[in-house]
Structure 1
Amino acid sequence: MSLRSSLSRPIGAVAVVVVTALALAGCVSRDSDARSSAPPSTVDASNLSAVTLNVGDQKGGTQSLLEASGQLTGLPYRISFSTFTSGPPQVEAATAGRIDFAVTGNTPPIFGAAADARIKVVSAYANNASGDQVLVPASSPLRSVADLRGKRVAVAKGSSANGHILLQLKKAGLSPADVQLIYLQPADALTAFTAGQVDAWAIWDPYTAIAQRQNGARTLTTAEGVANGYGFGIASQQALADPAKNTALADLVGRIAKASAWAKTNPAEWAAKYSAAVKIDPAAGAVAQTRSLRPAIALDSTVIGSEQQLYDAFVDAKQIPRGKPFSDYVDTRYADTVTEATR
């Protein structure tokens, strides 16, 4: 199987949506719902049979995890999954009301906040960020981030990789103006990377693992110790305001937390099922899931403060405008659900 086909093959979601990457800060509506409103009342689970949650997903993400762990069994509502290339289009879709929920990396919610997107961050997931890497071809003379000055770096705009490369440049005393950031979604970035049209590629697992296994890509640096590695569940404000969908979302957030815990305690079984679901080399799948598991964690002040720091770094680099504090886009209504699910 070619590297390109490994990365671009759909994973069999219930409904697959191909979304063009958008410069989110310029595309979402600023007609936001009131952020101070109390959560709506919930409904009994027996009344959820008519509810369909539209869930945004990425390659090997939420659907694969829920299926592998058995957490899609006995749902009192329906889920329609849509596959996206990265987090920013998911935020755009949630703002437009096309999806109700999605799990993203640490940076898409920041771009959403800068654009006053109609979303809330409702759950958090931890990772050491070692699977988020800057790759170079095996024969590249580049040996450090400082060597990227003047070079072409492929990255998906507004993605976790965008946050990672920004922080790496800052650490090396560089700014985005010191390199040529080429904004490409993963499949297009792969083509450019393998054709030598870019000098480096900031990317995340499973793309990182596949490129290393099948293309001989070399790691220039990882995000470990530089980026916070968090993932976030985002929900549309429309869904959160609906009692029935609010109830279903609480259940889904709990199921994702249980599924993440299952994956952590059953790494070999999860890696095998993950690899089969996304149709990649099992060895690459095992590597990706060894370093890219994201167990659910509390959405607390430490997490929120770390995200505000990343937000500020983008503002300081003049990559996004300064908007409301990141905390304005956080809703902790499902905190008890996550606590119960991870006991």
Structure 2
Amino acid sequence: MRRSLASAALLLPLALLLTACGGASSASTGTDGGTDGKGSVTLNVGDQKGGSEAILRAAGELDHLNYKIKWSTFTSGPPLLEAVNAKAVDVGGVGNTPPVFAAGAGSGISVVAAWHGTSKGDTILVPNGSKFTQTSQLKGRSVAVAQGSSAHYQLVASLKAAGLSLSDVKVKYLQPADALAAFTSGKVDAWAVWDPYTSQVLQAKQGRVLTTGDGITNGLTFQVAAPAALKDAKKAAAIKDYLDRLRRATAWVYDHQEEWAKVWAKDTRLPYEVALASVRRTNATRVAVAVDQPLIASEQKIADAFTELKLIPRKVDFGEFVDRRYNGNLPASTSAPHASS
């Protein structure tokens, strides 16, 4: 497996695993038949492989629910948000960029919770034999990235920091499994991607990091709810309890990194060493923060960047797509470790 990242056996888990950062995808969704909990209220939760359900179950936070959770698994953030807009999902987790594209499309979504971590797992990778040592050298070169993903914005921001624009490189819009194949076969010069793909390439010694998103992107992930669910008093109460449990489970990871990596590896079929590297680099850094004005301003920068590139059809006021009712006593988004704009 370490000798050949592009093998069919490895491409399968890569195709299945799209983290909360997920990219644009037209892939179909799968709905699990079972439910957790009991009671008259059913909360329809959108998830991604190895995501919220896995971490909640590992942390023991799905016990003693007085409402039911019906899980639906999506390949990535954009189709999950399409389901939120269609009222098929009440709440679900995504990265920092899919909500911007959903807002640009005028979708019915509300960001209700946020986590902040480092962006060290968000990288631009180059092959080991590449002569490139800085981002500015990518001018005129081909870069693979998943359209609409957090890596898409990371690429835009990293190029800008190096004095370049998106038009200065040859962008190849590829989903991770296809991008991996293109990267390892030398068909692209670089790959903008997120963990666990970063850890997968590094652990297999198939590439190295040219630059990371640390200090460049905001390191945010979100839970996004359907406005209709928030207007339903019983579902709104269930969402509050669900978010409280998810915050505790995320904090649990910090002191149980090896235990969580074992669960995550089993759930995603990734090698344990890759899962553990990703947990240590990315997952264990996440801290729950308030959905506040600095957070809105940070997301507004992403929206404005994509509007300027004409990848979003209209001006977006991101503040119209948040709901702060679940902030409680959470720290400000700017006070979290490694906070960035």
- Verify same fold: TM over 0.5: yes
In the superposition, the TM-score normalised over structure 1's length comes to 0.83
Q: Name the SS for the 2:14 alignment partner.
A: helix
Question: Is the CA contact 1:56–1:83 (under 8 Å) kept in the aligned structure 2?
Answer: yes
Q: Map Cα deviations across residues 222-275 of structure 1 (whole Å, 9 max, x no partner).
A: 100110111111111222222222121111111111101111232232223222
Matching of residue 297 in structure 1 with residue 304 in structure 2: no
Question: Is the CA contact 1:192–1:198 (under 8 Å) kept in the aligned structure 2?
Answer: yes
Distance 1:165 1:55, change over 3 A: same
Measure, in 2, the Cα distance between the counterparts of 1:191 and 1:236: 36
Matching of residue 251 in structure 1 with residue 255 in structure 2: no
Measure, in 2, the Cα distance between the counterparts of 1:50 and 1:198: 52
- Hey, what does 2:10 align to over in structure 1? 3
- Hey, what does 2:137 align to over in structure 1? 147
Measure, in 1, the Cα distance between the counterparts of 2:205 and 2:82: 32
Question: Is the CA contact 1:115–1:323 (under 8 Å) kept in the aligned structure 2?
Answer: no
1:332 Cα deviation from its structure 2 partner? 0.7
Q: CA RMSD in A?
A: 2.2
| Unaligned segments of structure 2, at least 5 residues | 2-8, 27-36, 332-341
Q: Map Cα deviations across residues 82-117 of structure 1 (whole Å, 9 max, x no partner).
A: 332322222222112222211111111111121111
Q: Name the SS for the 1:53 alignment partner.
A: strand
In the superposition, the TM-score normalised over structure 2's length comes to 0.84
Measure, in 2, the Cα distance between the counterparts of 1:247 and 1:92: 23
Measure, in 1, the Cα distance between the counterparts of 2:330 and 2:61: 15
1:288 Cα deviation from its structure 2 partner? 0.5
Q: How does 1:211-222 map to 2 (within 5 A)?
A: 211-214=201-204, 216-222=206-212
Question: Is the CA contact 1:134–1:220 (under 8 Å) kept in the aligned structure 2?
Answer: yes
Measure, in 2, the Cα distance between the counterparts of 1:48 and 1:305: 39
Match for residue 310 of structure 2 among 313, 318, 323:
318
Measure, in 2, the Cα distance between the counterparts of 1:183 and 1:176: 12
Measure, in 1, the Cα distance between the counterparts of 2:138 and 2:75: 26
- Hey, what does 1:21 align to over in structure 2? 25
Q: Map Cα deviations across residues 153-211 of structure 1 (whole Å, 9 max, x no partner).
A: 11111111111011011111111111122222222222222232222111111121112
1:215 Cα deviation from its structure 2 partner? 5.4
| Unaligned segments of structure 1, at least 5 residues | 12-18, 23-46
Identity %: 44
Matching of residue 74 in structure 1 with residue 78 in structure 2: no
- Hey, what does 1:309 align to over in structure 2? 301
1:20 Cα deviation from its structure 2 partner? 7.3
Question: Is the CA contact 1:268–1:286 (under 8 Å) kept in the aligned structure 2?
Answer: yes
Measure, in 2, the Cα distance between the counterparts of 1:153 and 1:246: 42
